[in-house]
């Protein structure tokens, strides 16, 4: 089993009893079957799984077994799609959605427990026909992409305190984080200057240039690109974002760019959209291939070849760039499908005598898919954004907190926990300003982001990372070998985690002859640890204590006592009391460690 931050959705068919009593049973069967099929399709299209059918209700989960950083948004968008689909069947439904920690099997089977399950079910029961009710945690995770109105606090059956509930009013495009706090642009002077210098060369030489900004989630790729384009004058700037899920998304970023350039809105009739597109392109063949309004793109994708679409995109970009310099910003290109990646590289290679700057924002995993991305090109640049320096992080914290005072201990904890990642700083400060505590708790937004990254690892790498997290921020190869005996060869697995930037090598080990490693960020360690069940943690802490005794004797007595104490506390929480033998061993180790400390 595994602990997960997941989002749970319950949907129930309204008026099923009346439907059964007033219709032919064959008609009822077809209508209800159609209802379940439409609901299941909306759930799976948005990356969720159908957990179970119960009468006329469906329970779905997002984030199980594979976590995504936007599971909350996926669930809410699926709920909206379900409601639209059900209305199309001339039926009514009620839906409840909530996020929270659950315990799940490591497979696509029903998870066992979790408050989010209970709250989502109660919300669905409290919803009116045609209404989608959201719990407080899913609202927090999705505030950038939803419009809601307060529904008051409901006393949901089975819960001790009233729950703040909101009704979904609408959806909006989430082009970034929720703007609840205003974060200034800090640092990145060299990178910003390099972008401006590259654009100046593109304009002067009238040649295409591919500029890729790599970086871990939250390190500031989008903010750097935004700062750059805000400072550019005399250029056409178009942006599009690759999506991690959905139907007909292969050329989605290109679709966004072309629609913006042509002035096409999503509610334009097809004939009007095509007319705008032809006026923008000046070539009917190009316009037809780039048909992006009202589902035309999907037809083009299936009926025309990738080469034809790429040709049309090249002609369109070259024509725009001939009027004035053109900047195309492709965000989240690590989620892009192969045809779009090829199209971007073709634009960089084939657009001639036209000032075109292609800016791509990507996480390092793009290089897993395309190791040679940008390579072999004279006019290509790639940079990696590193965490902010300590002084820059302090500047960011001061600006975000404004008049809020922090004690020196709280400030130090915040800076240590966030380690220079701007988004981590912003989200932790946001939690503080909303009345949370900065010291130990991880904001749900960050937990979702890091957990998604961990879940994308191969099974063995993920297992090793979770087992290593029990040892601590710094861990030894021998300890991990003890905790993960089913991994036959540790070295290649550790090497892979090093390459993926999850861990770093420690220059010095406190145990002679034992190679030591460190989690690159403390939050990676914390989220990996949070994925283990408390029972698994207790067992692994005991194993770590045993390994330390075998390997270092009393040299690391304090650390051994710490692990035994944690194991006893976890089992005490689960079973009411720890096993007597473990409790005695932990007490003896703590006493010996205390005496040693006093003697120093």
- Assess whether 514 and 551 both reside in one domain: yes
Task: Say if residues 402 and 182 touch (Cβ distance below 8 Å).
Answer: no
70 token code pair? 């936007």
Per the domain annotation, does 349 fall within a domain?
yes
- Assess whether 226 and 373 both reside in one domain: yes
Task: Say if residues 453 and 423 touch (Cβ distance below 8 Å).
Answer: no
pLDDT score recorded for residue 292: 47
Instruction: Choose the weakest-confidence range: 321-325, 362-366, 404-408, 539-543.
Output: 404-408
The domain boundary residue, chosen from 372, 406, 441 = 441
Whether the pLDDT of residue 285 is over 90: the answer is no
CA-based R_g, the chain, Å? 27
pLDDT score recorded for residue 381: 94
pLDDT score recorded for residue 248: 67
Instruction: Indicate the helix (H) or strand (E) that contains 383.
Output: strand 380-384
Whether the pLDDT of residue 294 is over 60: the answer is no
pLDDT score recorded for residue 301: 46
Q: What is the pLDDT of residues 204-235, one digit of tens each?
A: 999 999 999 999 888 999 999 999 999 999 99
The CATH number given to whatever domain includes residue 250 is 3.40.50.300
Position with higher pLDDT, 197 vs 159: 197
Pairing of strands 356-362, 380-384: unpaired
Whether the pLDDT of residue 439 is over 60: the answer is no
Per the domain annotation, does 230 fall within a domain?
yes
Question: What's the rounded Cα separation, in Å, for the pair 83 and 242?
Answer: 25
Task: Say if residues 313 and 347 touch (Cβ distance below 8 Å).
Answer: yes
Whether the pLDDT of residue 19 is over 90: the answer is no
Question: What's the rounded Cα separation, in Å, for the pair 86 and 127?
Answer: 16
Laid out side by side, the sheet with 474-476 consists of 474-476, 516-519, 503-505
Chain center to CA of 146: 17
Chain center to CA of 510: 35
- Assess whether 372 and 464 both reside in one domain: no
Please list the residues that pair with 560 across neighbouring strands. Answer: none
pLDDT score recorded for residue 295: 45
Per the domain annotation, does 177 fall within a domain?
no
pTM above 0.85, yes or no: no
Q: Kindly tell me the burial class for residue 580, based on how many C-beta atoms sit within 10 Å of its own C-beta (0-12, 13-18, 19 or more).
A: exposed
Q: Band the pLDDT of 177: cuts 50, 70, 90.
A: very low
Instruction: Indicate the helix (H) or strand (E) that contains 209.
Output: strand 208-214
Per the domain annotation, does 128 fall within a domain?
yes
Strand boundaries in 453-564, DSSP class E: 474-476, 503-505, 516-519
- Assess whether 489 and 556 both reside in one domain: yes
The CATH number given to whatever domain includes residue 114 is 3.30.70.1230
Q: Where are the alpha helices (DSSP H) in 129-188?
A: 136-142
Residue with tokens 């006093």: 598
The domain boundary residue, chosen from 103, 137, 171 = 171
If you average pLDDT over residues 352-373, what whole number do you get? 91
How many separate domains does the chain show?
4
Whether the pLDDT of residue 599 is over 70: the answer is no
Whether the pLDDT of residue 302 is over 50: the answer is no
The domain boundary residue, chosen from 171, 203, 230 = 171
Phi, psi of 485 (to 5 degrees): -65, -20
- Assess whether 490 and 400 both reside in one domain: no
pLDDT score recorded for residue 562: 92
- Assess whether 429 and 467 both reside in one domain: no
Question: What's the rounded Cα separation, in Å, for the pair 306 and 300?
Answer: 9
Instruction: Choose the weakest-confidence range: 19-23, 284-288, 533-537, 593-597.
Output: 19-23
Evaluate the omega torsion of the peptide bond into residue 344 and state whether it is cis, within 30 degrees of 0: no
Task: Say if residues 529 and 466 touch (Cβ distance below 8 Å).
Answer: yes
46 token code pair? 């948005």
Q: What is the pLDDT of residues 34-73, one digit of tens each?
A: 889 999 999 999 999 988 777 778 999 999 888 898 999 9
Residue with tokens 């593109």: 202
Per the domain annotation, does 533 fall within a domain?
yes
Instruction: Indicate the helix (H) or strand (E) that contains 119.
Output: helix 115-126
The CATH number given to whatever domain includes residue 563 is 1.10.10
Residue with tokens 């750097």: 224
Task: Say if residues 254 and 340 touch (Cβ distance below 8 Å).
Answer: yes
Please list the residues that pair with 171 across neighbouring strands. Answer: 146
**358-393: buried (b, 16+ CB within 10 Å) or exposed (e) per residue?**
bbbbbbeebbeebeebbeeeebbbebebebbeeebb
User: What's the chain's average pLDDT?
Assistant: 85
- Assess whether 412 and 331 both reside in one domain: no
- Assess whether 42 and 163 both reside in one domain: yes
- Assess whether 74 and 223 both reside in one domain: no
- Assess whether 142 and 221 both reside in one domain: no
Per the domain annotation, does 504 fall within a domain?
yes
Per the domain annotation, does 134 fall within a domain?
yes
- Assess whether 311 and 394 both reside in one domain: no
Range of the domain at 513: 452-599
Q: How far apart are the first and last CA of the chain?
A: 43
If you average pLDDT over residues 262-290, what whole number do you get? 76
Q: Band the pLDDT of 580: cuts 50, 70, 90.
A: very high
pLDDT score recorded for residue 180: 46
Instruction: Choose the weakest-confidence range: 19-23, 146-150, 420-424.
Output: 19-23
If you average pLDDT over residues 434-454, what whole number do you get? 75
pLDDT score recorded for residue 296: 47
Per the domain annotation, does 184 fall within a domain?
no
Which range is most confident: 79-93, 443-457, 463-477? Answer: 463-477
Whether the pLDDT of residue 20 is over 60: the answer is no
If you average pLDDT over residues 71-76, what whole number do you get? 94
Position with higher pLDDT, 487 vs 401: 487
Phi, psi of 177 (to 5 degrees): -75, 160
- Assess whether 20 and 99 both reside in one domain: yes
């Amino acid at each position: 089993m595994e602990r997960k931050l997941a989002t749970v959705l319950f949907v129930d068919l309204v008026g099923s009893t009346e439907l059964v009593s007033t219709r032919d049973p064959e008609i009822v069967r077809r209508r209800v079957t159609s209802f379940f099929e439409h609901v299941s399709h909306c759930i799976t299209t948005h990356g969720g799984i159908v957990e179970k059918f119960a009468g006329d209700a469906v329970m779905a989960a997002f984030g199980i077994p594979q976590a995504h950083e936007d599971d909350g948004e996926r669930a809410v968008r699926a709920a909206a799609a379900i409601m639209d689909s059900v209305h199309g069947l001339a039926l009514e439904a009620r839906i409840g959605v909530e996020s929270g920690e659950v315990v799940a099997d490591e497979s696509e089977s029903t998870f066992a427990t979790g408050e989010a399950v209970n709250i989502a079910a109660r919300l669905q029961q409290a919803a009116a026909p045609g209404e989608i009710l959201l719990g407080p945690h899913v609202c927090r995770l999705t505030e950038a992409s939803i419009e809601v109105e307060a529904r008051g606090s409901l006393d949901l059956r089975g819960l001790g305190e009233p729950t703040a509930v909101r009704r979904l009013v609408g959806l909006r495009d989430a082009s970034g984080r929720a703007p609840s706090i205003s974060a200034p642009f800090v640092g990145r002077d060299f990178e910003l200057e390099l972008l401006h210098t590259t654009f100046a060369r593109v304009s002067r030489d009238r040649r295409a240039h591919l500029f890729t900004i790599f970086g871990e989630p939250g390190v500031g790729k989008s903010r750097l690109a935004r700062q750059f384009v805000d400072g550019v004058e005399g250029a056409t700037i178009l942006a599009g974002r690759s999506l991690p899920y959905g139907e007909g998304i292969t050329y989605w970023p290109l679709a966004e760019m072309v629609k913006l350039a042509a002035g096409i809105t999503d509610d334009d009739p097809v004939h009007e959209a095509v007319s705008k597109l032809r006026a923008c392109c000046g070539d009917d063949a190009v316009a037809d291939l780039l048909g992006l309004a009202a589902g035309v793109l999907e037809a083009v994708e299936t009926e025309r070849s990738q080469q034809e679409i790429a040709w049309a995109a090249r002609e369109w970009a070259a024509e725009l760039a001939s009027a004035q310099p053109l900047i195309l910003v492709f965000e989240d290109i690590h989620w892009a499908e192969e045809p779009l990646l090829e199209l971007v590289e073709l634009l960089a290679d084939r657009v001639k005598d036209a000032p075109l700057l292609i800016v791509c924002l990507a996480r390092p995993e793009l290089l897993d898919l395309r190791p040679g991305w940008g390579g072999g090109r004279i006019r290509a640049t790639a940079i990696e954004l590193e965490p902010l320096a300590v002084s820059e992080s302090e500047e960011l914290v001061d600006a975000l907190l404004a008049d809020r005072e922090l004690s020196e201990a709280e400030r130090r904890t915040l800076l240590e926990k966030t380690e220079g990642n701007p988004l981590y700083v912003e989200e932790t400060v946001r939690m503080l300003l909303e009345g949370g505590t900065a010291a130990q708790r991880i904001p749900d937004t960050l937990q979702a982001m890091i957990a998604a990254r961990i879940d994308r690892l191969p099974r063995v790498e993920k297992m090793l990372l979770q087992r290593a997290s029990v040892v601590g921020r710094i861990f030894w190869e021998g300890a991990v070998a003890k905790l993960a005996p089913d991994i036959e060869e540790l070295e290649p697995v550790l090497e892979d985690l090093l390459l993926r930037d999850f861990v770093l090598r420690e220059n010095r080990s406190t145990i002679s002859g034992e190679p030591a490693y460190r989690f690159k960020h403390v939050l990676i360690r914390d989220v990996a640890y949070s994925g283990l069940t408390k029972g698994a943690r207790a067992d692994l802490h005991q194993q770590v204590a045993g390994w330390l005794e075998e390997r270092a004797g009393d040299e690391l007595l304090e650390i051994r006592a710490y692990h035994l104490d944690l194991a006893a506390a976890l089992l005490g929480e689960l079973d009411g009391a720890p096993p007597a033998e473990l409790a005695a061993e932990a007490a003896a180790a703590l006493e010996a460690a205390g005496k040693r400390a006093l003697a120093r």
